[in-house]
Structure 1
Amino acid sequence: MMAKALQHYGGKIVTIEMGPEVAGQAVNNFEREGVKEQIEVRIGEARTVISGMNEKFDLIFQDVGDKKLYYEMLEDYSRLLKPGGLLLAEDTLFPVMDFGSEFSDLTQMGKSLDTFNKSIAGCPQFESTLLPIGDGLTVAVKRTS
């Protein structure tokens, strides 16, 4: 939907895909929908790719599979967003509970998201809210001053 709008208004979408196979599937989808020219696909681990980026963005949609990275990448999001830019982070109400030793990765993921939520709520660079939609959606606007 956004890519279709960009055909009329201009701009581009940058997506980061973990590997060549997933990136290839994404490109096939973009071609099928006629929006390939509006989308740039970058391949690699999100934290590594983002740390090397210097463009400024109006919108960042965060949906990294490893939710433990949300907090670690917050500084980069702030650096890359234009003033007034929007950060959308998905699944930020992932259960913050102790799942037991068998699921220690899930417990750590929940705790990391809790840290992200508290950090962005208190971050002077952002005005944010957390919406209880699905597994949670954080909506944050980068302050202009």
Structure 2
Amino acid sequence: MSKQTIGLDSQLYNYLLSVSLREPEVLQKLRYETANHPRGNMQISPEQGQFMRLLIQLLGAKKTLEVGVFTGYSSLSVALTLPADGKVVACDVSEEYTAIAGKYWHLAGVADKIDLRIAPAIETLDHLLATGQAGTFDFAFIDADKENYDGYYERCLQLIRPGGLIAIDNVLWSGDVANPQIQDESTQAIRGINQKLRDDERVNLSLIPIGDGLTLALKRG
């Protein structure tokens, strides 16, 4: 037993992976390629990808949202777990980064499950709402520009069904959220959404110290 979450040094983290990680080869190849990318630190960790796959299974999800694709590790993780008729609506603004994602989506045979929308995510989410898709999604993953997290959250909350789940990434922000001396716009935005979620009675809440911090918000009925 422990009265608080333990920290993970490199030795313990590597042990964690050695006894629990079941990473499909295509995901491993994508992770290795992204590790050499100039912005490779934006990729989620493999144990977080596996955790998200488990969440998709537990939800019985078929229709999901992703806000922020980058090179596609999280969307590929989800798509591999969805049933044959499942769908990921994936929002990003970068054709360059998502070109890498598309290569691996095709390699994994799941490209037909992923509907990539290249546009500001707020516009895509508003379009989904305007076309009558509120309450039709099972799961949403938010991992994009932090300044718009609140706007993404509010729209995703409308788009997912009661009992659906929103997962919000980077909520611990490398520890900067706990340092009052750090007051840049992104850090303040994350602090703001964290405080808002704590008091939001529309959802049930848990913040998981996996990766860079992952908040799970379950929409109440």
TM range (shorter): 0.7 to 0.9
RMSD: 1.7
Secondary structure of the structure 2 residue equivalent to 1:79: helix
State the match for 1:85 in structure 2: 164
Q: Distance in 1 between matches of 2:151 and 2:118?
A: 19
1:1-145 alignment runs, 5 A limit: 1-8=77-84, 10-54=85-129, 55=133, 56-64=136-144, 66-94=145-173, 95-96=176-177, 97=179, 98-99=181-182, 107-144=184-221
TM-superposed CA distance for 1:7, in Å, is: 4.2
Deviation sequence 1:9-61 (CA, Å, 0-9, x none): x3211111212223333222111111111111111122222222132210001
Structure 1: stretches of 5+ with no match in the other structure: none
One-letter code of the match for 1:74? Y
Judging by fraction of residues, say which structure has more strand.
1
Separation in structure 1 between the aligned mates of residue 218 and residue 193 of structure 2, nearest angstrom: 15
Provide runs of 4+ in structure 1 moved above 4 Å. none
SS state at 1:42 partner:
strand
Higher helix share: 2
Residue 31 of structure 2 aligns with which residue?
none
Cα offset for 1:62? 0.6
Which amino acid is 2:217 matched to?
A: A
Q: Which runs of 5+ in 2 are unaligned?
A: 1-76
Structure 2 Cα separation of the partners of residues 69 and 93 of structure 1: 16
Given the two structures, how large is their TM-score scaled by the length of structure 1?
Answer: 0.84
Q: Distance in 1 between matches of 2:220 and 2:92?
A: 29
State whether residues 88 and 113 of structure 2, in contact with CA within 8 Å, keep that contact through their aligned partners in structure 1: yes
Using the alignment, how far apart are the partners of 2:151 and 2:112 within structure 1?
31
> SS state of the match for residue 217, structure 2?
strand
Say whether the 8 Å CA contact 2:142–2:152 is kept in structure 1: no
TM-score (norm 2): 0.57
Q: Is the 8 A contact 1:7 1:38 kept in 2?
A: no
Q: Identity of counterpart residues, as a percentage? A: 29
> Of the two structures, which has the highest relative contact order with CA contacts closer than 8 Å and spacing of 6 or more?
1
Q: Match for 1:20: what amino acid?
A: E
Q: Contact 1:121 / 1:127 at 8 angstroms: preserved in 2?
A: no
**What is the distance in 2 between the residues matched to 1:16 and 1:31?**
18
